[in-house]
Amino acid sequence: MGRRRRARTVTERGRFAVVRLFAAIGITLSLAGCAARGGDAAPTEPGLGPAERVAGLLVGNYAGAARDEDGAQAVLLDAEIVRVAASGIFVRMDQRAADETARSFQLVFEPTRIATRLSGRFSPLDADDAAIGSCPLTVSLRRNGFVATTDGASCRFGQGDRGRALIKEIAHDGQRLVIADRVVRSDSGEPVGSDRVLEFERVRSFTGWSGVREVEAGPWRVSRPLRVRSDGVVHRPVDAAGVGLGFSFELAPHRVRADESPVLRLRVFDDETGALLSQAWADPQTGRLGVALPDLQLGLRALER
Q: What is the pLDDT of residue 70?
A: 46
At a CB cut-off of 8 Å and minimum separation 6, what does 61 contact?
76, 77, 78, 202, 203, 231
Phi, psi of 135 (to 5 degrees): -120, 140
Query: The dihedral of CA 300, 286, 174, 169: what is its sign?
Result: positive
Considering the entire predicted model, what is its pTM?
0.75
Q: What is the pLDDT of residue 177?
A: 92
Q: What is the pLDDT of residue 158?
A: 80
Strands of the sheet containing 263-270, edge to edge, are 247-254, 263-270, 276-282
What average pLDDT score do residues 2-6 get?
Answer: 38
What average pLDDT score do residues 122-149 get?
Answer: 91
Q: What is the pLDDT of residue 160?
A: 73
**Do residues 171 and 177 lie in contact, with contact meaning Cβ atoms separated by under 8 Å?**
yes
Q: Which of 14-23, 151-160, 175-184 has the highest mean pLDDT?
A: 175-184
Q: What is the pLDDT of residue 161?
A: 75
CATH code for the structural domain at 10-202: 2.40.128.20
For residue range 24-33, what is the model confidence (pLDDT) as tens digits? 333 333 322 2
Confidence of residue 174 (pLDDT cuts 50, 70, 90): confident
Which DSSP symbol is given to 144? T
For residue range 203-256, what is the model confidence (pLDDT) as tens digits? 999 999 999 998 887 899 999 999 999 998 899 999 999 999 999 999 998 877
Residue 275 vs residue 16, higher pLDDT: 275
Pairwise CA distance, residues 261 & 26, whole Å: 8
For residue range 93-135, what is the model confidence (pLDDT) as tens digits? 999 886 667 889 999 999 888 888 999 999 999 988 888 889 9
**Do residues 232 and 251 lie in contact, with contact meaning Cβ atoms separated by under 8 Å?**
yes
Pairwise CA distance, residues 10 & 126, whole Å: 26
High-pLDDT (> 90) share of the chain, %: 48
Confidence of residue 64 (pLDDT cuts 50, 70, 90): confident
What average pLDDT score do residues 54-80 get?
Answer: 79
What average pLDDT score do residues 14-38 get?
Answer: 35
Q: What is the pLDDT of residue 187?
A: 77
High-pLDDT (> 70) share of the chain, %: 80
Pairwise CA distance, residues 129 & 218, whole Å: 57
Q: What is the pLDDT of residue 36?
A: 31
The DSSP bridge partners found for residue 292 are 297
Any idea where the domains of the chain sit in the sequence? 10-202, 205-302
Q: What is the pLDDT of residue 66?
A: 62
What average pLDDT score do residues 286-304 get?
Answer: 94
Q: What is the pLDDT of residue 99?
A: 63
- Strands of the chain, DSSP E: 60-67, 74-85, 88-97, 103-111, 117-125, 135-142, 145-149, 156-157, 164-172, 176-185, 196-202, 205-212, 221-222, 226-229, 247-254, 263-270, 276-282, 288-293, 296-302
Confidence of residue 197 (pLDDT cuts 50, 70, 90): confident
Confidence of residue 169 (pLDDT cuts 50, 70, 90): very high
Confidence of residue 258 (pLDDT cuts 50, 70, 90): low
pLDDT greater than 90 at residue 292: yes
